[in-house]
Structure 1
């Protein structure tokens, strides 16, 4: 007799990135990846009206009310909850923390260009506020740039 196989449900997940200014970093990554900045303004307004949160929990960004210290982005083709604005698919959440980034990221994002489009991708990312750190050329194993987003988080452009 064979061993029993346990089947687990696929889990939903999001990548959470610490930041010093969540809305600005969300704007950068939304533009870099072609994602949509989540709009929780309807939920924020409902919570304010019901007295469940106070004005100290809210900040305005690009004319919309959002939760202070948080901002999310989602893939434009993925489903999302219209009442809260929260994505139900590929998603990044930015949360503000009190301490500055220290050391190298243990996890990073790779942004891929179209074949032959690495130079254009790197220039576009620089135009959004990214910085080149170093070029890596591993021959047949790949060629990419290590870069930093506006808050110094490392990522690769390949």
Structure 2
């Protein structure tokens, strides 16, 4: 039995609202070297059971996917082969009707290899990110960027 202050690590995922979850997943998978989750077996099973209809799916990347949500996962982490759902580090993108209107309260920091920040910024810009500004503070330097939907992130 665990003591009062001993807690098991919790399983979690970061959820990001998006206008186009699949485009966001493609961007972040490429940006982080993650894998876009393949939920096609789960979708086929749910469809065959009559639990979901075709209006809740689309084809993306040559396979059937949920229309309104998709996740990316770290390629080294395990996943459930029956559902395609990652069991470790994940980011889930879910469709919402409204556009982003204010600054993020939570953001991702991307850590480039030493001396490679400029090259990483160029690579991310090529994937669809935009540079907002270069920041130099007593605690360090970083580049503030936005992903294709305007969500801020930093490259250190």
Question: How does the TM-score come out when normalised to structure 1?
Answer: 0.95
In 2, the alpha carbon distance for the partners of 1:5 and 1:13 equals 22
User: Match of 1:126, SS?
Assistant: helix
**1-side partners of 2:130 and 2:136: how far apart?**
18
Unaligned runs of at least 5 residues, structure 2: none
SS of 2:71's partner is: strand
How many residues of Structure 1 are paired with residues of Structure 2 in the alignment?
154
Flag the structure with larger Rg: 1
Q: Which residue of 2 aligns with 1:154?
A: 152
Residue 95 in structure 1 maps to residue 94 in structure 2: yes
Which residue is 1:24 aligned to? 23
Query: Which stretch of the first structure deviates more once superposed, 144-153 or 53-62?
Result: 53-62
Q: What is the 5 A alignment of 1:3-152?
A: 5-139=4-138, 141-152=139-150
Other structure's SS at 1:17 match: strand
Moved over 4 A (4+): none
Work out the CA distance in 1 between the residues paired with 2:56 and 2:29.
23
Query: How high is the TM-score relative to the length of structure 2?
Result: 0.96
1:60-94 alpha-carbon deviations (Å, 9 max, x no partner)? 10111111110100000000001111100000000
CA distance in 2, matches of 1:40, 1:136: 39
What is the RMSD of the two structures over their aligned residues, measured on CA atoms?
A: 1.0
Measured after TM superposition, the shift of residue 138 of structure 1 is: 1.7
